[in-house]
Structure 1
């Protein structure tokens, strides 16, 4: 529908025409300029719009997901060590870099270009690709974008530290801190301080880290972050054994706005400090307050661990063990359960000497969620206990063999008992009914089986058994002295070792160790008499000079050690590449001075020559085997043990391979022979048939002739 207007007033018509002329003639340039500007601006806005939604939005979203996940798992903001990231996070970061790289390639003029550089640098940093991260942050700094100038400087400093350019990195962060203070940029200030404190703590420069914590607390307004910094300050003072300052810092946490975990941990640390200062009553009082506060219910297991420690320190071993057993049972799946298992293992091993049960609890700690420190210590304890149990088992075996060699009735009785045990087990197995539901068995076995082992009649003499017992008793004594810290047990087994084998090659070492035992007991008379015996009777053994030091007597000069001159001559032959002569001289040393340390050294040198100079591996292995057999506790034997074991495995593998090849060859020959025989049979069958046919024809012909003759 068209709207019809009436005739226009002449004056109005004239005014309209004048306006039209003014627009079209005088201001046409301005109009074109405005339209052009609007077009260009709209193009820029449209470019940013497409860049954001097509590329940057997805990259930013993925990166925020990664950051959220990392923050969720971050227990300590001052942890400097590289964190292992999951494959899922790696995949997301890879996609972030792929999307931002397209912005770098196609959208350089976009306002999102600096943002893309920043998250790309952080993505590389999280993936521990610090050189790539540094380049991105340097590119960002070169843009001179006021939004990113300062924060890019902080991240450049962080990358420099990770790339081990420590002085430059710290200087860069210090510079960033000064600028951040002036510009009142809280984000850059916090990031720079946290980076410095983390790095200095990791490098164990605790005094410098403490200084940085105090500086940050003076300038920061973030109460939650300040609470965490005060807690870190307390931990750093603990590292320096400044207990009073540590307690002051942990108390200071409450002056800020700590999160729940920081609040609890600071109070627990104060209780621990009271305990270390000997104020156990005050410590126990604070722990009970924490236990009575229902809001700390989720942390009561850690309170109980500290209460158990106080009981143990007071000498209440039974109460401590009871407390730890309760924690181990109640919180078995938590970190505290693993720690309790460790303490139980320690009590069982060190206070009750129940190594079998201790073994099980240390194994439990290793597979638990306990911190690395406890799992590592449990692993070390496990090695020692396994050594003890293995040696103890050997001694039991040798003792049984000795009884069998001296008492035939004992062997017969044990054999009968074993057979009866086997019959009983067989009968019980037949009676067993399979349960409807499977019962979960404990993962750790604490108690040894009482089932008797099958008696084996010894194949060596009683003297040989005694010699083996003596060697094992010597090793066990060393273990008690050096690792289990039980000197009385060590002394018993040293004496037992000499009693079982008076000619033990380790006799001077045993006597010296026993001298040390008596010296620690304050019995200097017995100690000195043993040292004097060594000094007078073992001139050729290196231990003689250790005895000389104890007696304040002149050391035996190396030149007077009989075997040394012979060894130097052998060494001279070796240097002249006269290997056969060197081997001959070294072997003579081993034969003439079997108790000298040069005996083991000579065998080691012979093996070395065969292995590395003459390439006779079988000969080298034979010599190393003798070295391991006769001087297994020497440093030289320890050097070749792994090598010898590897050689034995290789040798067995070769023997098995040869046997397998020989068997295969024999099987092949048999198969070939059978094939030939079968072929021969096949060849002979037609001939045999023909032969039989000929014979039959002859018989028929003969019969016909005979018949004709009879008819005539």
Structure 2
């Protein structure tokens, strides 16, 4: 066989050498060079693509490097050239396959599928047919023709299993498992992966498959199965990366399957193995979490703090900060420390899969910190407002402490200035004699030690050489000691130089700038917000209950009292104390019908919803109006005025005041009282339409009253002046008997006449007022 084949080859070559021209040979060489370049470029591109580190069943999109992208572009160009100019050669089928794969890697799935179909049309070998059908199925999956693609993958896989074509078995399983994972069909993905592992012959591939099965079980919270399949990895031949990852996840699965002590022991043993030295950060992190799982919070905190500080800047340091924050939040119940570590986690740039969680928790605890700080501040102000003597004493103590701090600062500053003056020359000129004298005295002992050691040298040694060596060593030692002393002296001086600012204690006592009622309202509001934060977002209901109860006992007079009752009732519902909860809801429903919170209580109780537009003052107004129509003016006036007193926020309050003033003015004939009521209407409800009706009358009334008062004062003054004049005349002409004396009765008569004139004037004014046109008559029927 071989000899006949060789004869054919020799014959062909001889024929070519005999018949071919130079140009034909060049074309033949060009063809083979073109095919060689295609294979080389495609092989390099495919190796670059396959070198990307990804999990076996990862659905991360393919990312081409610039080199791979350029190589694929060249492959497409050269394959197109080969198919165009050498369409009858033996490499057409392989060129079509490579061309289809190149389009696939470029994510041009439609063109890729078309090339694979062109390959099938050439009736290639059976192996190429099977591979082309595999790639067509993969293109269908990428084009979202899922039913067609899945059917194609199954046909290819079944045939490949019969023929034991490993790479097609692998690709068909991997493609479908990725799809099932993307569709969250994890149970189906797990079963397919198990079938894949049974069909695989390669031990390293089996280890990878079992590792992925363990991951899938871990995702479904089936931790015991995860432990089983992670342990299977070690029964085969995993590469070092897979072994390390499987070991760490095996320890995590032990912890999650309530075998935390085994997890602690496993991770502790793992740290001792050299092959895991590059993964110590992650192992230490998981060990810290396992300590927490067994309730050893002290060891957990120490271990996590070690990761946070030792591997600073790594993603594991950020995760350690996150775990420390959770430890403080959930187990140590130190929310201030938790807030600090959540903030630190964000600063350490955690892995992207943890960023959203870390940001959410950080924002949550920022709100907690701000609310807690605000509450503490207002609590302190309220305490000082209610206890002014304590405020005075704390202020005195603060001033005394500040004065002591200032005295200490001045003393230290004076010392710093002295040292600065004394040390600066020594630092600027180290060659001075005094300085050298002081420094040299430090080295006598060392120099003597050197002399003693040299004196033991045999007498055969040249004395001159010994002296030179001794002098050189002494000089070097002196210079070294001088440099060390200078550096230490410089550090001491710089430390003293920093004494240039005085720092007093933070948070000095401050007198409240708002009223006690305002402080209580703000405290109730912030306590309610913090309680809701505990109850709904931080899942700490007991802390929420304490805050709600503080509002109901200490701040019941604020407008947040019913909100605290509702929140407290909701808390009792969560612990199945429904009777207690209903009693609180009933208080809200019965007493706050003008607020939306009443309907929230109605929903809790299953009672009818309340019309929030309902105004209880409306009924009172109708009743008062009815009394007025029946002529009961005294009763009607009192009921109209009562509306204003009981419901000052109601729209009927201003209307009731106007009606009360109208009755006093027109029915009860009490103008002074009417003016007083009108004046209240003007001051309390200046924007009311009824103000326009009475403003002019009230103004005129006040002006007239003022005029009458002035006239009275003028009359009284005239009478007093007249009386004084009469007294003087009597004294001057006491002896004149002809002057007629005025009796006391005549004086009384004159005073009575003056009073009657004033009364007639007031009546005239009153009659004039009654002639003013009425803008509204409350006796008219309501429509």
- TM bin, normalised by shorter chain, reads 0.5 to 0.7
Alpha carbons of structure 1 residues 96 and 315: separation in structure 2 relative to 1, 3 Å: same
Correspondence 1:428-507 to 2 at 5 A: 452=506, 460-498=514-552, 501-502=555-556, 504-507=558-561
How far apart in 1 are the matches of 2:162 and 2:375? 76
Kept in 1: contact 2:96–2:119 (CA 8 A): yes
Deviation at 1:332, TM superposition (A): 3.3
Q: Helix, strand or coil: the match of 2:234? A: helix
- RMSD of equivalent CA atoms: 4.4
- Tell me if the contact between 1:415 and 1:455 (Cα under 8 Å) persists in the aligned partners: no
The structure-2 alpha-carbon separation of the partners of 1:546 and 1:319, relative to structure 1 and needing over 3 Å to count, comes to: same
Residue 67 of structure 1 aligns with which residue? 49
Classify 1:412/1:284 alpha carbon distance in 2 versus 1 (closer, same or farther; 3 Å). Answer: closer
Pairing 1:199–2:179 present = yes
Aligned residues: 516
In the aligned structure 2, how far is the partner of 1:356 from the partner of 1:43?
82
1:515-526 aligned within 5 A: 515-520=569-574, 526=580
In 2, Cα distance between equivalents of 1:90 and 1:381:
37
1:321, 1:344 within 8 Å by CA — same for their partners in 2? yes
Q: Are the aligned partners of 1:97 and 1:123 in contact in 2 as well (CA < 8 Å)? A: yes
Greater Cα offset, 143-152 or 486-495: 143-152
Q: Is it true that 1:216 corresponds to 2:268 in the alignment?
A: no
Q: Is it true that 1:79 corresponds to 2:129 in the alignment?
A: no
SS in 1 for 2:191: helix
User: 1:555 and 2:607 equivalent?
Assistant: yes
Partner of 1:658: none
Look up the match of 1:99.
74
Task: Look up the match of 2:364.
Answer: 384
Matched, 1:508 2:557: no
Give distance in 2, aligned partners of 1:191 and 1:145: 21
Larger of the two Rg values belongs to structure: 2
Q: CA deviation at 1:191?
A: 1.3
Mapping for residues 165-180 of structure 1, pairs under 5 Å: 165-180=145-160
Could you tell me how far 1:454 is from its partner in structure 2? 8.5
The one-character-per-residue Cα deviations of 1:59-107 (angstroms, maximum 9, x if unpaired) are: 336514632542xx32x12111325x4xxx4432442243234325533
Aligned partner of 1:310 in structure 2 is 290
Preserved contact between residue 308 and residue 317 of structure 2 (Cα < 8 Å): yes
Greater shift, 102-111 or 194-203, is seen at 102-111
Aligned to 1:679: none
Q: Counterpart of 1:340?
A: 320
Please tell me whether the aligned partners of residues 308 and 321 of structure 1 are also in contact (alpha carbons under 8 angstroms). Answer: yes
3-state SS, counterpart of residue 197 of structure 2: helix
Equivalence for 2:459: none
**Matches of 1:400 and 1:498 in 2, distance apart?**
20
Q: CA deviation at 1:316?
A: 1.6
- Map of 2:228 onto structure 1: 248
Moved more, 165-174 or 138-147: 138-147
CA contact (8 A) 1:391 1:472 kept: yes
Question: Which segment is superposed worse, 320-329 or 495-504?
Answer: 495-504
- Asked if the contact 1:96–1:120 (Cα under 8 Å) also holds between the matched residues in 2, the reply is no
User: CA 1:282 to 1:200, structure 2 compared with 1: closer, same or farther past 3 Å?
Assistant: same
Unaligned runs of 5+ in 1: 1-29, 438-448, 566-590, 594-712
Deviation at 1:387, TM superposition (A): 0.8
Q: Using a 3 Å threshold, how does the CA distance of structure 1 residues 416 and 37 change in structure 2: closer, same or farther?
A: farther
Please say if residues 540 and 562 of structure 1, whose CA atoms lie closer than 8 Å, have aligned partners that are also in contact. Answer: yes
How many angstroms apart in 1 are the aligned matches of 2:380 and 2:586? 37
Give the TM-score normalised by the residue count of structure 1. Answer: 0.61
- Alignment partner of 1:357: what SS? helix
CA distances 1:99-137 after superposition (whole Å, capped 9, x unpaired): 234325533245666656555655555555545554555
1:485 & 1:214 partners in 2: Cα distance? Answer: 41
Residue in structure 1 matched with residue 714 of structure 2 by the alignment: none
Q: Distance in 2 between matches of 1:115 and 1:389?
A: 68
Compared CA separation, residues 426 and 282, structure 1 to 2 (3 A): same
Q: Does 1:352 align with 2:402?
A: no
CA distance in structure 2 between the partners assigned to 1:116 and 1:344 by the alignment? 58
1:415–1:64 Cα change, 3 Å: farther
> Which residue number in structure 1 is paired with residue 752 of structure 2?
none
Deviations 1:512-553 (A, max 9, x none): 221233455565554342133233334566655664566xx5
